[in-house]
């Protein structure tokens, strides 16, 4: 660009490396802890380089979990994955349909629907979590994937994003499909949805991470170990009564909980960045 | 914005919005209405005994100095998280926006913490600063002579929470600032350079003003984050201590409701929080989101 | 081989056809203790074929209780739930929600004699006229742990733990002088240094026999003795002899890592110490102030008991009653006690364990039991029963931190704990009158 001095060229690299180190720092120690024994960790200071128990700890975490958790990281990962996929795809489908109705139809109650969805932006989870539990249990959905997923799949953000996108679809395309004699649902399926690929991909990344990282809700409704997600597992491992925390296993599980969403972000970085800046701005 | 073509059908649009509306009512409106209803009662946790108390749960909160203290802590926490994570993110984004080698690698490295759950961020930082087993706490104490005890020193507890919460939030801000910087028209900057403006001056006089919509949006989002989404961090790291020094509002609301089983007060606190989110959202839309045309 | 497989299949079909009643048992035990809960259930399930008890781990004590309450309100309560001691008054006050154990046992004609239980343990969970409301399950008490290697290094006798507080403080100072980072720390400031401290010195923690006789009770522990005790600890914290390690049981690493030489913790934490400490350590009774008449009295328990929810079917109650009788048997109690470190709830199980010679290799466990049995419990040492007790403990934790940080004087801090605690007691009384 405009500067040519060597120091000026180096400066951004130094800053960025510094930032990267700070950002990776906590992760390094988690990794070190996950390769050591509980006694190593408790006799502070823990050595600052990895120990020899990597395979044993991760093996235990993946296949067994801590002694009485009764859920292996493998099972919990499966649950986290089902929950994240369910929430993200559920949100996308429900929102696509709603946005389609709101943009392409004029019906009494349209404004009402729009505002009803809009207002959900303003109801923090804390406000509704206890009564929601009652609703789910009345529906007989405690301990089911449906119970984990359904209350989380309303997304005003997704409806807005799709609505905005639909509004920008050239009117001519819609009219042309009308002239060809396509019904509204045919138009939706074969023209509109394929056009919406990019925003859908973006939404998917954001909502997958949102779903994977759900904490308060599964904390309340998972009463059987078969439905524990990774974050709940970590919480449970940290909170047993009168027992020593098996830090090395907790740390291994923490890393395992981190990897999938990080991979999704890294792999789908482009869609993710585009999605974030489109939806929320 | 131009009006979209409209299909005509009587039943279909209702069918299409039905799933969304069912979920909205079942899981949003009904529970929220219940929270409002419960805020007017004293209740034993099992629901066996219920006493109507009118606004007592609210008046008790507003006359409780602890509640105001909690309000103040939440505010200063949200502000410090917003301030530190935004300035750091902006600074890094400016560097990453320069046309340098490996810039895509750098960007990826900056973005991934977005995927870390807030709760996990809390666990990570607590593990480093735990006065008993934490490596940083140990270095501070034995190598640098700084007594680290966030269990008793409220300023340290506050600092630790701010670090953990900001650490996670930097990537979010980074993404937006970078997008904002990339949309700054280059000719404008180059013209200023030709006029002899140095990089710092160019940033403050040209780039920064162009970023102000982004910054304003981020400010609101960061405040919301600091205020409402940091519960898991506080829960893991300080549990509101030492004393009540880091008991932020969302922590108190869950603590009173779930651990202390005071449903009435907890509901009243939820309702107050709900009003705060509503006003923040309205504020945001009044000032920046004019695109909502309905 | 084939025949065995066939037999197994027939057996499976027969068992499967049998109408078995399953009851859920929600608990908060992890690690070794959790395995033992499962083992008890397995043994019970194997002992008969009409009933099945299914343990479900629900997280921390408060998670478990909260999940139970939410489930009860939604009509989905488990039959059995483990509730920690601070939830006792809340459960007792929830009259429509729980089925008292004495009533359950009577209805199911299980022979049930509250007298076989160790009095300090059962009294904690009984009405003042002796009716047992919940079944004591994992009971522990607070004891002192000391680092024998550190004692040696400081020139102290490693087989002789200090017995009085003045001796204790002197030893703590010596440990610090010998090069340790500090002398001592403690877990559970409220349970150990206030509740057990009061019982051990036979002074009231609250009025109305520590809340056993009614909801109109008041906290009164801001007495000169407690004030002296806390002021001493505060002064020692200024000198670095006492080190604060956090709420609940978060101070353990200070002791395990050898930073301090003495520590107060539940006997339930013994296994953990054993697994992680890289030095020899001993367990001793809580110290006392020798100038207090009647001290030492007896210590009180902590831990949790099993509550039974209302609204279950006859068959389910029969299952629960059978299970309760089963786990109260001497053999089962001794098994539980020896494997978890929690104290046995019957005198017979204690005698059995003693005769098996268990205490010769595990002297620490006997220290705890003998401390509980030291004297017949008085109104000050039967236990603690206050509504909203977790809020009270939270106030105590918070104020104790403010005291140590120098934000409030020891005297004002204690007065504040009592004043604010009494406020929450009045709230509870109002709701449950």
Interchain pair C268, A246: CB under 8 A: no
Which pLDDT tens digit goes with each residue over B62-112?
Answer: 999 989 999 999 999 999 999 999 999 999 999 888 877 888 888 888 888
- Cβ–Cβ contact B203 with A under 8 A: no
Cα–Cα distance measured from residue B138 to residue A29, given in angstroms and rounded to the nearest whole number: 13
Instruction: Report the residue of chain B nearest A212, measured CA to CA.
Output: B117
Instruction: Report the residue of chain C nearest B47, measured CA to CA.
Output: C73
The total of other beta-carbon atoms located within 10 Å of residue C110's CB is 17
Interchain pair B35, A111: CB under 8 A: no
Question: Mutate which of A38, A101, A115 to test chain B, going by most B C-beta atoms within 10 A?
Answer: A101
Cα–Cα distance measured from residue C288 to residue C274, given in angstroms and rounded to the nearest whole number: 26
- Which two tokens mark B9? 């059908």
Interchain pair C61, A243: CB under 8 A: no
What domains appear along chain A, each with residue ranges and CATH number? 34-279 (1.10.3720.10)
The CA distances from residue A183 to A179, A186, B8, B9, B266, in Å, are 10, 5, 10, 10, 51
Tell me what the pLDDT averaged over chain A comes to.
84
Number of folded domains that form chain B: 1
Nearest to C97 among B42, B46, B131 (CB): B46
Residue C30 with chain A: CB contacts under 8 Å: 66-69, 236-237, 240-241, 243
Three-state secondary structure call for residue B221: helix
Nearest to B13 among A107, A120, A121 (CB): A107
Interchain pair B115, A261: CB under 8 A: yes
pLDDT band (50, 70, 90) for residue B211: confident
Our CA dihedral for B156, B162, B164, B170, rounded to 10 degrees, sits at: -150
Percent of chain A surpassing pLDDT 90: 21
Question: Mutate which of A242, A243, A253 to test chain C, going by most C C-beta atoms within 10 A?
Answer: A242
Does any domain span residue B172? yes
Q: Please check the confidence at residue C340 and state whether its pLDDT lies above 90.
A: no
Interface contacts A/B by beta carbons within 8 Å: 276
Does any domain span residue B190? yes
pLDDT, residue A281, reads 40
Residue B4 with chain A: CB contacts under 8 Å: 103-104, 166-167, 169, 171, 174
Interchain pair A116, B21: CB under 8 A: yes
Q: Which domain holds residue B257?
A: 56-287
Tell me what the pLDDT averaged over chain C comes to.
90
Mean pLDDT of all residues in B11-23:
91
Number of folded domains that form chain C: 2
Residue B217, domain CATH: 1.10.3720.10
pLDDT, residue B1, reads 45
Does any domain span residue B35? no
Cα–Cα distance measured from residue A122 to residue A115, given in angstroms and rounded to the nearest whole number: 11
Which of A151-160, B9-18, B152-161, C393-402 has the weakest average pLDDT?
A: A151-160
In terms of domains, do C130 and C160 share one? no
243-272 of A, contacting C, C-beta below 8 A? 243-244, 246
Percent of chain B surpassing pLDDT 90: 32
Does any domain span residue C6? no
Longest dimension (CA), chain A: 77
Does any domain span residue B87? yes
Distance from CA of A235 to the nearest CA of C (A): 8
Q: Are C143 and C367 in contact (CB under 8 A)?
A: yes
Residue B133 with chain C: CB contacts under 8 Å: 253, 257
Cα–Cα distance measured from residue B88 to residue C42, given in angstroms and rounded to the nearest whole number: 56
In terms of domains, do C318 and C295 share one? no
Which pLDDT tens digit goes with each residue over A79-91?
Answer: 999 999 999 999 9
Interchain pair A264, B190: CB under 8 A: no
In terms of domains, do C150 and C273 share one? yes
Tell me what the pLDDT averaged over chain B comes to.
86
Which pLDDT tens digit goes with each residue over A148-202?
Answer: 999 888 778 888 888 888 988 888 888 888 888 888 888 898 889 998 888 898 8
In terms of domains, do C410 and C306 share one? no
Nearest to C278 among A43, A142, A239 (CB): A43
Cα–Cα distance measured from residue C429 to residue C425, given in angstroms and rounded to the nearest whole number: 6
Does any domain span residue C182? yes
Does any domain span residue B5? no
In terms of domains, do C414 and C307 share one? no
Query: ipTM value of the model?
Result: 0.84
Element (H, E) at A118: helix A110-119
Does any domain span residue B81? yes
Cα–Cα distance measured from residue A66 to residue A247, given in angstroms and rounded to the nearest whole number: 10
Distance from CA of B80 to the nearest CA of A (A): 19
In terms of domains, do C326 and C204 share one? no
Interchain pair C57, A138: CB under 8 A: no
Which pLDDT tens digit goes with each residue over B172-195?
Answer: 999 999 988 988 888 888 888 888
In terms of domains, do C316 and C196 share one? no
In terms of domains, do C276 and C191 share one? yes
In terms of domains, do C111 and C228 share one? no
Q: Please check the confidence at residue B216 and state whether its pLDDT lies above 60.
A: yes
Q: Are C220 and C300 in contact (CB under 8 A)?
A: no
- Cβ–Cβ contact B4 with A under 8 A: yes
Chain C residues bordering chain A (beta-carbon distance below 8 Å):
26, 28-35, 37-38, 56-61, 63, 67, 70-71, 73-76, 84, 138, 140, 249, 252-253, 256-258, 266, 268-269, 271-272, 275-276, 278, 303-304
- Cβ–Cβ contact A146 with B under 8 A: no
Subunits close to A (at least 3 CB pairs below 8 A):
B, C
Residue C21, domain CATH: 3.40.190.10
pLDDT, residue A126, reads 60
Three-state secondary structure call for residue B51: strand
Interchain pair B42, C431: CB under 8 A: yes
pLDDT, residue C20, reads 87
Half-sphere exposure of A140 (CA within 13 A, CB side): 0
Q: Which domain holds residue C75?
A: 16-139+302-372
């Amino acid at each position: 660009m405009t500067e040519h001095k060597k120091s000026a060229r180096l400066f951004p690299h130094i800053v960025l490396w510094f930032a990267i180190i700070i950002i990776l720092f906590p992760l390094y120690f988690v990794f070190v802890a996950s390769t050591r024994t509980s006694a190593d960790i408790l006799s502070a200071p823990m050595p600052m380089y990895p120990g020899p128990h990597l395979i044993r700890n991760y093996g235990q975490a993946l296949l067994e979990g801590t002694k009485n958790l009764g859920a292996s990281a493998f099972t919990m990962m499966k649950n986290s994955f089902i929950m994240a996929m369910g929430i993200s795809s559920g949100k996308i489908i429900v929102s696509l349909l709603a946005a389609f109705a709101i943009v392409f139809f004029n019906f009494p109650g349209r404004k009402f629907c729009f505002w009803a969805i809009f207002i959900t932006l303003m109801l923090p989870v804390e406000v509704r979590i206890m009564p929601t539990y009652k609703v789910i249990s009345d529906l007989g959905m405690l301990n089911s994937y449906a119970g984990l997923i359904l209350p989380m799949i309303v997304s005003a953000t997704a409806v807005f994003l799709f609505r905005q996108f639909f509004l920008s679809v050239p009117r001519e395309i819609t009219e042309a499909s009308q002239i060809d004699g396509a019904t509204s649902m045919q138009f939706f399926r074969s023209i509109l949805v394929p056009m919406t690929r990019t925003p859908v991909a973006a939404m998917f990344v954001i909502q997958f991470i949102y779903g994977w990282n759900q904490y308060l809700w599964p904390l309340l409704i998972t009463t059987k170990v078969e439905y524990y997600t990774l974050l709940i597992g970590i919480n449970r491992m940290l909170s047993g009564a009168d027992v020593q925390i098996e830090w090395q296993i907790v740390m291994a599980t923490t890393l395992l909980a981190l990897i999938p969403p990080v991979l999704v972000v890294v792999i789908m970085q482009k869609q993710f960045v585009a999605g974030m800046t489109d939806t929320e701005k | 914005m131009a009006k979209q073509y409209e299909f005509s059908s009587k039943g279909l649009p209702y069918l299409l919005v039905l799933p969304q509306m069912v979920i909205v009512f079942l899981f949003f409106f009904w529970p929220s209405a219940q929270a409002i209803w419960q805020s007017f009662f004293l209740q034993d946790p099992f629901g066996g005994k219920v006493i109507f108390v009118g606004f007592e749960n609210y008046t008790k909160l507003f006359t409780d100095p602890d509640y105001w203290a909690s309000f103040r802590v939440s505010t200063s926490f949200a502000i410090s998280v917003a301030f530190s994570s935004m300035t750091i993110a902006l600074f890094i984004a400016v560097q990453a926006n320069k046309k340098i080698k490996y810039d895509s690698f750098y960007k990826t490295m900056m973005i991934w913490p977005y995927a870390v759950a807030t709760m996990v961020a809390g666990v990570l930082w607590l593990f480093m600063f735990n006065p008993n087993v934490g490596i940083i706490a140990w270095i501070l104490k034995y190598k640098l002579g700084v007594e680290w005890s966030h269990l008793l020193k409220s300023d340290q507890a506050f600092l630790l929470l701010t670090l953990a919460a900001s650490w996670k939030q930097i990537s979010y801000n980074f993404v937006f600032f970078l997008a904002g910087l990339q949309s700054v028209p280059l000719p404008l900057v180059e013209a200023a350079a030709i006029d002899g403006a140095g990089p710092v001056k160019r940033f403050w006089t040209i780039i920064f003003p162009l970023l102000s919509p982004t910054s304003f949006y981020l400010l609101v989002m960061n405040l919301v984050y600091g205020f409402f989404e940091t519960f898991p961090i506080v829960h893991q790291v300080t549990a509101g201590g030492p004393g009540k020094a880091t008991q932020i509002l969302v922590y108190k609301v869950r603590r009173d409701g779930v651990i202390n089983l005071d449903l009435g007060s907890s509901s009243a606190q939820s309702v107050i929080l709900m009003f705060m989110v509503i006003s923040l959202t309205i504020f945001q839309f009044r000032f920046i989101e004019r695109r909502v045309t309905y | 081989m084939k025949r065995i497989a066939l037999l197994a299949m027939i057996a499976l079909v027969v068992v499967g056809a049998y109408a078995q009643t399953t009851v859920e048992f929600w608990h908060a035990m992890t690690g070794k203790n959790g395995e033992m809960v499962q083992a008890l259930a397995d043994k019970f399930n194997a002992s008969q074929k009409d009933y099945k008890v299914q343990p479900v781990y629900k997280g921390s004590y408060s998670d478990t209780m909260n999940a139970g309450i939410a489930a009860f309100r939604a009509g989905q309560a488990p039959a059995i739930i483990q509730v920690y001691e601070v939830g006792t008054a809340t459960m007792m006050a929830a009259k429509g929600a729980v089925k008292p154990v004495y009533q359950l046992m009577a209805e199911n004609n299980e022979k049930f004699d509250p007298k076989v239980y160790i009095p300090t343990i059962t009294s904690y969970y009984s009405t003042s006229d002796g009716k047992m409301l919940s079944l004591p399950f994992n009971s522990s008490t607070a004891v002192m742990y000391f680092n024998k290697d550190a004692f040696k290094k400081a020139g102290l006798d490693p087989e002789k733990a200090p017995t009085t507080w003045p001796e204790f403080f002197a030893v703590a100072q010596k440990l610090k002088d010998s090069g340790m980072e500090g002398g001592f720390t403690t877990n559970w400031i409220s349970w150990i240094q206030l509740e057990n401290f009061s019982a051990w010195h036979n002074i009231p923690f609250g009025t109305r026999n520590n809340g056993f006789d009614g909801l109109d009770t008041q906290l009164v522990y801001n007495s000169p003795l407690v004030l002296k005790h806390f002021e001493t600890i505060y002064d020692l914290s200024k000198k670095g002899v006492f080190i604060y390690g956090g709420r609940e049981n978060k101070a353990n690493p200070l002791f395990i890592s050898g930073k301090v030489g003495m520590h107060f913790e539940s006997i339930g934490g013994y296994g953990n110490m054993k697994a992680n400490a890289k030095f020899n350590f001993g367990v001793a009774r809580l110290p006392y102030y020798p100038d207090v008449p009647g001290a030492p009295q007896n210590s009180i328990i902590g831990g949790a008991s099993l509550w039974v929810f209302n609204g279950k079917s006859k068959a389910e109650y029969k299952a629960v009653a059978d299970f309760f009788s089963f786990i109260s048997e001497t053999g089962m109690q001794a098994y539980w006690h020896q494997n978890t470190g929690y104290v046995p709830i019957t005198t017979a199980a204690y005698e059995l364990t003693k005769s098996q010679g268990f205490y010769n290799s595990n002297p620490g466990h006997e220290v705890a039991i003998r401390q509980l049995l030291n004297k017949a419990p008085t109104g000050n040492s039967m236990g603690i029963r206050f509504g909203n007790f977790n809020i009270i403990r939270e106030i105590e934790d918070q104020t104790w931190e403010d005291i140590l940080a120098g934000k409030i004087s020891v005297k004002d801090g204690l007065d504040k704990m009592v004043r604010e605690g009494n406020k929450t007691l009045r709230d509870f009384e109002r709701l449950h009158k």
